[in-house]
Amino acid sequence: MTFRVVWTDKATQELAEIWLNAADREAVNAAAALIDRVLKVHPLDDRHEIVNGFGTALRVPVGIDFGVDPENQLVIVVAVWFAIEDLD
């Protein structure tokens, strides 16, 4: 099953700001691409429950908040932040 991943305008802007300020822009590109690939295939396996069906995924140096709509096979990335270490 493949999910469609949609990044909100806010999330896209936050990712762009992280990329512009990053010492290693390739690491930001790679992390965002990996997050996108994982969410397309395993969005429910790659999250930590927060509230109301929203979760967090992290691939240093990028962290995201996202929601999953399993019925419509849709993932919506709603926020992005700079992450300096993995969550435990």
Architecture of domain 4-82: 2-Layer Sandwich (3.30)
Tokens of 8: 């909100």
* Spatial contact of 72 and 5, defined as CB atoms under 8 Å apart: no
Query: How many residues are present in the chain?
Result: 88
Residue 86 has pLDDT above 60, yes or no: no
- Reduced to 3 states, what is the DSSP secondary structure of residue 78? strand
| Tens digit of each residue's pLDDT (9 = 90 or more) over 30-55 | 999 999 998 999 887 755 555 667 88
Strand 74-82 to 4-7 pairing: parallel
Q: What is the pTM of this model?
A: 0.86
Query: What does R_g of the chain's alpha carbons equal in angstroms?
Result: 12
**Span 54-71, mean pLDDT?**
90
Give the C-alpha separation, 51 to 62, whole Å: 20
Q: What is the pLDDT of residue 51?
A: 60
